Structure 1
Amino acid sequence: MNRRLFLSALLLESGLLALNACRPAVSLPFFRDDPSLLPPARPVLPDKGVLLEKALEHERQMGERHLSLEGLVLYRVREKEPPTLSLADAAIWTGCYVAAEAFRWKVTGDPEARQRLMASLNALHLLHQVTGKKGLLARAFRRATAPARGEKGRWRQGKRRHEEYRWMGDVSVDQVDGVFFGYAVAFDLLDEPTVHRETAETVAAVADHLLEHQMQIIGRDGKRTKHGDLGDGFFSEDLNALIALMIMKVAHHITAEPRFAAAYRRLITRKEYHLRAAAARDKWWEYFVGTNHSDNNLAFLAFYPLMQLEKDRALRRIYRRGLRRAWEVVRVEANPLFTFIYRALTGAEEARASARAVETLFHFPGVKRNAPVDQSRRRDLCRSIWRDRLGRRQSCAPLPIQDRPADSFEWKENPYRLKGGGDGMTRFAGVDYLLPYWMGRYHRFLNPRQ
């Protein structure tokens, strides 16, 4: 190689390294941030009960404004006109709240936790019943006998026993992922035969619907929903293979029906879903278009019940490889939900990541409002030249939780975001605090005195 060619190659490699130096982490096996470069966590005051007090405050707010009479999570509530009518993610966040309250009930034995758990479990059942089609879930529902002004989304009127409800259609695999996550946690932590029987009925109906339609979610109109593909088509994502395996594994665990165990094995032996699941968070195109942080959240929710239920050592090794791939990217985010799930499934200590996850809970807002936030002009922040997948400017490293704009569920958002918010008159539910907090308490990663 002559000198000119050598210098050109050196300049090109230096340029690429410079670009990556200010690039947020991406979900690729060759791109990993070094956790040793992270700043150490600031100490959280011990024995002050700050985390518990914040959990109880978010529980209070849930009871006052973020739960419908049926137990559905109203994750976004306006404090002035116009009212909130679009709650397209009510199913997934209700599933997450069911899991949070199941952990809380198991840890504390608090009657309020059991009461809310039972109510929100019934809301999950009603998401199925209100559609009038066996195996089809709604995204959300509300009491109304006619369309409301400003109603957005594919709303329908309930039939027969549910005429007093309107329900939102076009359910996605995201929603089913959260619902089955909630069912899986609650089923094992709430030992009540009636609850188990009702849960088994709904879970079996949803799983059978998928099997009858080649792993597709078919709406009331007879067509596949927009994001309802869990099949093995050319354009189907590997993440959906992970979710499909989790659904069938949970369905067999809850119902004990052999057909779901057989379906699980077919997805592995004939479709190689286990290998696709291991690659769920390896998306080469994210290097160019930005990381889908919502998919990170969906993957961790799916891994939690799947790996807890799977006993086959060979499959566990494959799933653990996929979980490790996902973790290597998000470990820099000080994300308590991902950290606690990873620790629970692997037994890894992850001392630095765990300390920073606790710090995130410590600084998590006690009230979540859509107040305007703009960190884009701060001179102390490295601003990446790479924009996120929504075209927004972002930082080179994740921002501390107290510097980010509030969101409906923090762990599905971009932790590098610099701007966001609104008029400050929308309040968000604190399910994203309650789930990791009570999960951390259940797995003894946290203590009640923190």
Structure 2
Amino acid sequence: MILNKKKIYQVLLLCLALQPFGWRTAIAQDRFKQEYAIKYYTHDRKTNNAKVLSDRNGRIQFLQAGRLLKPFDGKLLFPGRLSADITYRYDSLETFRDIILYQNNFVYLTNQLVYSNAWAGTCLFKHHLPKAKFLEMDETGNVFLTDGQQIRCYAMDGKVLANARVDDKIKAVHYDTRNQLFWMLSNQALYNYSLQNKQVHTVYRGSDFSCFTLNETGKLLVLAKSDRYSLFSIEKSTDGQVRMIQQRNWDDRLPAQPVNTVQYVDGTLWFGSMHGAFRQQENGAFDYYQSGRWLPGDTVYSLAKGPESTVLIATNKGLARLHHKAMSLEEKAAYYDKQVRERHIRYGLNATLKGLKEGNLRTGILSDSDNDGLWTSMYLAAEAFRYATTKDSDALLNCRESLLAMERLYSVNPLKGFPSRSFERIGHKTDLADSKVWLDAPDGRWSWKSTTSSDEAIGHLFVFSVLAEVVNDPWVKEKAVTLMDSLMSHIVANDLYLVDHDGKPTLWGKWNPAYVNQFPTNIGDRKLNSSNIISMLQSAYYFTKKEKYRDKAWELMDRHGYYENLMRPMKGIGQADEKADDYSKMLSERWNHSDDEMYFLGYWGLYRYALNDTLKNNFRKAILDHWEFERPEKDALWNFFAAMVGEKNFDRDASLWFLREFPLDLINWQVTNSVRKDIRHLEENFMNQSTDAVLSPKERPVHRHNRTTFILDEDSNGTEEFSAGDIWLLPYWLGRYLEVVK
């Protein structure tokens, strides 16, 4: 036998008893810029080439199909609308072709007029270019118009200053204040025009040009094709002509294509495409904004600076206003706490809001799930850590409420010590597809969901242990220990099985050696189930002092190889070979990230309540071995469990990044990242790691900790809002409790 109790107690070993966490380098809660979007929808389908601008007064105007619109209402998660701007009665009578800013005031181009409501309305004259498409003005107020070929320039009083022509089809125009030039782009050339010499110059030729922009200083020009872009510096030659010097080769590593528009906003380069918007970071990488989380529609036509340092994005379905709010992690936790309490508590259980119609929160219903006990356990643990850290009375009330719901999972059914998956009033079971697993409770008023799984069980033991250890409240401690003892008594009395209403073990509630050791040693379930049950038995013994739990743990480790099973390195876990049974092959097709969640929740009891210091030291090694495999996911929850066992280098920066980058919008919008060219894709692998580096949480699909963070796509349409209780609040408050987040 590898473990002998007498020998263990005779050997002097390194003690890894629980220590204060003050020696660790903690994550400071400096305020950061939290991004979120407010969306404004339009029901007009004629949205080609929509344009948005904001003037010096903070007014926003959206030009669409010849009409001026403005945003109304709207806040985070509750979209507003775009309605006709009738502030000036005259504006509602015109058909608009373009809108620009001059001295930060709106100037309009209509079928017949150039005018503005600023400067007491003195800017108004009739132009004679009936098909004019583009309007620009220089610093002195001179007006430049073109219909794509004809060019006509006016003074602000309407006096004609010049006429010219380009034998091409102009698609974009910008004025260059530094060089006093009007720049024009066609599909195959970039031109400029000067009012001083009244000549058109061809500056650069190529093909498939889509858009261009100048930076705020006029020294840099960005030229984009549909699938790539390049950067040029602008210099004047000795003869006074402007020339472009290419600073960057044509780069096609863009998140989305084709590119429709490009714009500098407060010194940052933004792109709009047929599949979202993206901005370039200082290191050259991109932040990508797509789907209903950020935009009303994914086809982006226009970008502009908005009021209060926001960014305005005009799309095919309306306007997005991207905000950057200074926020601390504690303030973010308060936001998420409000989200949970307002929309995600069902009978005290932590639930998902389902049935949303395109993300409309007003249409959602609280739904049961197979894992109500698990999601509630994780949220309840977050509130326990919050109370232990802050002594907030609301946190204690939340603990009591959700603990009653956990108790209800046991009392609603007639089976002693057996936790239901969920419960609901008779006649209101929401998961009708699983109607066979719903059973009526003895009181005739409620139904309970059977077939409880192992991930429910480990979640229950995790939170009962957390409550019993960290919440200084006699009622909470007593109830948590009672429920823990009830569940574990059921499992031990039933030969390490969860036995359902039919007298048979549930599909996954199996920890018996005959089941566990039937698998080849490289099958993950053999290691997982061994790790979980030892954690569960140790926890039950630690809090109840009942020897049956301690003795059963030693029996499994000494006589049935559970110690070897759980200590087996993760590098030895993989796919079953050809000679293995079909069940083993099915269980090992790919790395199971739901198992990761079960492992790490179990590590709380495996390490903290180890039967002796030798086991604690060895279990620590097994936990960190697993964590090393998970480090690329940059999941703060896994990192903080590593900190829990004393790992100094627990990826502090990655954890902070995870907590800060998580979106405030937790609706399951459709997300598509797999087509991006700015990320490096990997060959299909056992770990399901799709790229060489994980994407930001704000760019990838929202999901719980039971899925890999390397998921790139989500085929959904805003039908659910997830609860932050288990996803974000648990890692945050665990980090606060461990004092690795200050």
TM-score where L is the length of structure 2: 0.51
The structure where helix makes up a greater share of residues is 1
Q: Confirm whether residue 406 of structure 1 aligns to residue 702 of structure 2.
A: yes
- Checking the alignment, whether the CA contact within 8 Å between 1:78 and 1:426 is kept in structure 2 is yes
Q: Confirm whether residue 180 of structure 1 aligns to residue 461 of structure 2.
A: yes
Pick one of 557, 572, 579 that aligns with 1:268: 557
Structure 1 residue 341: Cα displacement: 0.8
The aligned residue for residue 280 of structure 2 is: none
Distance in 2 between residues matched to 1:171 and 1:51, nearest whole Å: 35
Q: Confirm whether residue 369 of structure 1 aligns to residue 667 of structure 2.
A: yes
Distance in 1 between residues matched to 2:625 and 2:576, nearest whole Å: 14
Q: Which runs of 5+ in 2 are unaligned?
A: 1-27, 33-325, 358-362, 520-524, 578-587
Structure 1 residue 155: Cα displacement: 3.6
- Counterparts of residues 12-411 of structure 1 (less than 5 Å): 45-46=30-31, 49-68=327-346, 70-80=347-357, 83=365, 85-145=367-427, 147=429, 150-152=432-434, 154-161=436-443, 163-233=444-514, 234-235=518-519, 237-279=526-568, 281=570, 282-285=572-575, 289-310=589-610, 312-345=612-645, 347-350=646-649, 353-386=651-684, 394-407=690-703, 409=704, 411=705
- The letter for the 1-side match of 2:594 is S
Q: 1:381 to 1:44 in 2, by over 3 A?
A: farther
Distance in 2 between residues matched to 1:147 and 1:90, nearest whole Å: 14
- Checking the alignment, whether the CA contact within 8 Å between 1:134 and 1:205 is kept in structure 2 is yes
- Checking the alignment, whether the CA contact within 8 Å between 1:130 and 1:167 is kept in structure 2 is yes
- Checking the alignment, whether the CA contact within 8 Å between 1:101 and 1:116 is kept in structure 2 is yes
- The letter for the 2-side match of 1:290 is R
Residues 29-80 of structure 1 deviation map (CA, whole Å, 9 limit, x = unaligned): xxxxxxxxxxxxxx98558652111111111011111111x31111343335
- The letter for the 1-side match of 2:723 is A
Structure 1 residue 88: Cα displacement: 0.9
Q: State the aligned residue count.
A: 397
Moved more, 393-402 or 334-343: 393-402
Distance in 2 between residues matched to 1:156 and 1:403, nearest whole Å: 38
Residues 313-335 of structure 1 deviation map (CA, whole Å, 9 limit, x = unaligned): 22123212211220111112211
- Checking the alignment, whether the CA contact within 8 Å between 1:396 and 1:416 is kept in structure 2 is no
Distance in 2 between residues matched to 1:237 and 1:138, nearest whole Å: 25
- The letter for the 2-side match of 1:59 is D
Moved more, 236-245 or 82-91: 82-91
Structure 1 residue 264: Cα displacement: 1.7
TM-score where L is the length of structure 1: 0.82
Q: 1:270 to 1:444 in 2, by over 3 A?
A: same
Q: 1:286 to 1:342 in 2, by over 3 A?
A: farther
Distance in 2 between residues matched to 1:266 and 1:394, nearest whole Å: 41
Pick one of 413, 420, 431 that aligns with 2:714: 420
Q: Secondary structure at the match of 1:88?
A: coil
- Checking the alignment, whether the CA contact within 8 Å between 2:371 and 2:456 is kept in structure 1 is yes
Question: How much is the aligned-residue C-alpha RMSD, in angstroms?
Answer: 2.5
Distance in 2 between residues matched to 1:443 and 1:82, nearest whole Å: 36
Residues 207-258 of structure 1 deviation map (CA, whole Å, 9 limit, x = unaligned): 1111122211111111111111112230362101111011111111222222
Distance in 2 between residues matched to 1:201 and 1:443, nearest whole Å: 26
- Checking the alignment, whether the CA contact within 8 Å between 1:370 and 1:427 is kept in structure 2 is yes
- Checking the alignment, whether the CA contact within 8 Å between 1:406 and 1:421 is kept in structure 2 is no
Residues 131-151 of structure 1 deviation map (CA, whole Å, 9 limit, x = unaligned): 210121111112334655844
Bigger-Rg structure (1/2): 2
Q: 1:357 to 1:203 in 2, by over 3 A?
A: same
Q: Confirm whether residue 432 of structure 1 aligns to residue 713 of structure 2.
A: no
- Checking the alignment, whether the CA contact within 8 Å between 2:541 and 2:550 is kept in structure 1 is yes
Distance in 1 between residues matched to 2:628 and 2:729, nearest whole Å: 24
Distance in 2 between residues matched to 1:253 and 1:300, nearest whole Å: 19
Residues 102-142 of structure 1 deviation map (CA, whole Å, 9 limit, x = unaligned): 00001111111011111111111111111210121111112
Residues 356-406 of structure 1 deviation map (CA, whole Å, 9 limit, x = unaligned): 1111100111120110000011111112220668xx893233222122101
Distance in 1 between residues matched to 2:431 and 2:659, nearest whole Å: 38
Q: 1:348 to 1:270 in 2, by over 3 A?
A: same
Moved more, 125-134 or 150-159: 150-159
- The letter for the 1-side match of 2:369 is L
Q: 1:374 to 1:229 in 2, by over 3 A?
A: same
Distance in 2 between residues matched to 1:188 and 1:260, nearest whole Å: 18
- Checking the alignment, whether the CA contact within 8 Å between 2:633 and 2:708 is kept in structure 1 is no
Structure 1 residue 92: Cα displacement: 0.7
The aligned residue for residue 14 of structure 1 is: none
Structure 1 residue 350: Cα displacement: 1.0
Q: Secondary structure at the match of 2:420?
A: coil
Question: Relative CO higher for 1 or 2, CA cutoff 8 Å, sep ≥ 6?
Answer: 1
Structure 1 residue 84: Cα displacement: 5.9
- Checking the alignment, whether the CA contact within 8 Å between 1:369 and 1:425 is kept in structure 2 is yes
Distance in 1 between residues matched to 2:436 and 2:368, nearest whole Å: 10
Distance in 2 between residues matched to 1:78 and 1:371, nearest whole Å: 13
Distance in 1 between residues matched to 2:338 and 2:368, nearest whole Å: 23
Structure 1 residue 190: Cα displacement: 1.8
Moved more, 171-180 or 148-157: 148-157
Q: 1:211 to 1:398 in 2, by over 3 A?
A: same
Q: 1:221 to 1:311 in 2, by over 3 A?
A: closer
Distance in 2 between residues matched to 1:196 and 1:348, nearest whole Å: 29
Q: 1:393 to 1:46 in 2, by over 3 A?
A: closer
Identity %: 24
Structure 1 residue 284: Cα displacement: 2.0
- The letter for the 2-side match of 1:313 is D
Q: Secondary structure at the match of 1:194?
A: helix
Distance in 1 between residues matched to 2:333 and 2:657, nearest whole Å: 15
- Checking the alignment, whether the CA contact within 8 Å between 1:86 and 1:152 is kept in structure 2 is no
Structure 1 residue 200: Cα displacement: 2.6
Residues 260-307 of structure 1 deviation map (CA, whole Å, 9 limit, x = unaligned): 122222222222312211227441218984321121121111011220
Distance in 1 between residues matched to 2:595 and 2:609, nearest whole Å: 22
- The letter for the 2-side match of 1:101 is E
- Checking the alignment, whether the CA contact within 8 Å between 1:215 and 1:230 is kept in structure 2 is yes
- The letter for the 2-side match of 1:425 is T
The structure where strand makes up a greater share of residues is 2
- The letter for the 1-side match of 2:507 is K
Residues 150-184 of structure 1 deviation map (CA, whole Å, 9 limit, x = unaligned): 443544334334x3222211111111111111111
